[in-house]
Amino acid sequence: DAMVIQNPRYQVTQFGKPVTLSCSQTLNHNVMYWYQQKSSQAPKLLFHYYDKDFNNEADTPDNFQSRRPNTSFCFLDIRSPGLGDAAMYLCATSTGLAGGVDEQFFGPGTRLTVL
């Protein structure tokens, strides 16, 4: 089945130690997104890629970076995690078809713990 895969599902890191979260997709979608979701809060869009074009949300901290080396993979790098970065990180994709309604397809998420 075509899907969005996130690895690892659970990640524990230490305060200040860089961490990378991975997302891959078999849907061949143009757009890939990263969201941060803290407990009892709305998923918050961090950034998205339309193909190779990177789009950062204005309020995304500089501590968060992303890479998309090819269509299938997208990475979230947290350069110096703080305790406040502990959250569920969701990856999603959409077709990116112009003028259409872009349904997002979500992965299962990676739960990040910062010690």
* Interface ranges with other proteins (CB under 8 A): 4, 31, 33, 35, 40-45, 48, 50, 55, 57, 90, 92, 94, 96, 98-104, 106-109
**Cβ partners under 8 Å of residue 67, min gap 6:** 74, 75, 77
Q: Which is nearer to other proteins, 61 or 96 (CB)?
A: 96
Instruction: Kindly state the tokens that stand for 96.
Output: 């990116």
Torsion from C-alpha of 100, 32, 104, 37, nearest 10 degrees? -140
- Cα angle: 52, vertex 17, 86; to 5 degrees: 80
Q: Which is nearer to other proteins, 34 or 114 (CB)?
A: 34
Q: Which is nearer to other proteins, 15 or 54 (CB)?
A: 54
Q: Which is nearer to other proteins, 61 or 108 (CB)?
A: 108
Shortest Cβ 85–other proteins spacing (Å): 19
CA count, 13 A, side-chain hemisphere, 107: 30
Whole-number CA gyration radius for the chain: 14
Shortest Cβ 12–other proteins spacing (Å): 21
Shortest Cβ 115–other proteins spacing (Å): 25
Shortest Cβ 58–other proteins spacing (Å): 10
